[in-house]
Amino acid sequence: MGERTQYVPGTFSWTDLATTDPDAAKAFYAALFGWQAEDMPVPGGYYSMQRKDGKDVAAIAAQPPAQRDAGVPPAWQSYITVASADAAAQRAGELGGAVHAPAFDVMEAGRMAVIQDPQGAFFMAWEPKNHIGASLVNAPGALCWNELAAADLDTAPDFYAGLFGWRTEAYEGGPMRYLTIKNGDKANGGMRETQPQEPPHWLVYFAVDDTDVSVAKVSELGGATIAGPFEMAMARMAVVSDAQGAVFALYSGRLEP
């Protein structure tokens, strides 16, 4: 199992769901992944920590009113650890990104900024304090991969190389052009081209014991299958959505420690 007590800057470290119905979402993911929820009071509501075997794996919260009023669909959000959220936001702007929320404190948990890359994909820069992010990854019911869908795969890596020092390597043998992200010497997600009518975004993958069984469970719980299941060299995967429409991916196969 991938237990964590810290993350190297530039590493995906957390994910949370901004949704229109947090209570329904908690029930959905509890049934799908076996998560246990603990609602943490925050101004205006609660932030529901989701745990697997007692370890933090994700969180669920209500959409901010501005997103809800604008009709933004529920979404899983990707967090990347940084040494300084302020410095990351400044650098993102210099590289052509948009800073939608300058760095701000999240109580004693950490400091974060909301950033949109030059092609339109959102992510969060996370400077940890009391909360490092997920204490369990790369295990069934936990985060195991993050994937950028980019309109221009030739230029997309440049922004992230300048911001986080990432390198990308071509992955050979798949059905589409695919780049593997390296943060130092560690694999840290991937990048692919967007499909027709698909906006640029970061997709969150959760590990499961059996992708086909989990896809059937998603349907039973009121979700939908968007793509797959399909086989890749190291895993069987599917892209699905929950009952409120938040999109995520399922992965059963080889996991990094």
Model confidence over 77-134: pLDDT tens digits?
A: 999 999 999 999 999 999 999 999 999 999 999 999 999 999 999 999 999 999 999 9
What is the pTM (predicted TM-score) of this model? 0.96
Query: CA-to-CA distance for 19 and 14, rounded, in angstroms?
Result: 16
- Pick the last residue of a domain from 128, 153, 178: 128
- My answer on whether 101 and 74 are in the same domain is yes
Percentage of residues of the chain with pLDDT beyond 90: 85
Model confidence over 165-216: pLDDT tens digits?
A: 999 999 876 677 899 999 999 999 999 999 888 999 999 999 999 999 999 9
What is residue 232's predicted lDDT score, i.e. its pLDDT?
Answer: 81
- Pick the last residue of a domain from 68, 96, 128: 128
| Residue 183, number of CB atoms within 10 A of its CB | 21
Q: Give residue 56's identity as a one-letter amino acid code.
A: D
- For residue 221, give the CATH number of its domain: 3.10.180.10
Q: Is the pLDDT of residue 1 over 70?
A: no
Query: CA-to-CA distance for 227 and 209, rounded, in angstroms?
Result: 18
- My answer on whether 142 and 249 are in the same domain is yes
Query: CA-to-CA distance for 54 and 91, rounded, in angstroms?
Result: 36
What is residue 217's predicted lDDT score, i.e. its pLDDT?
Answer: 98
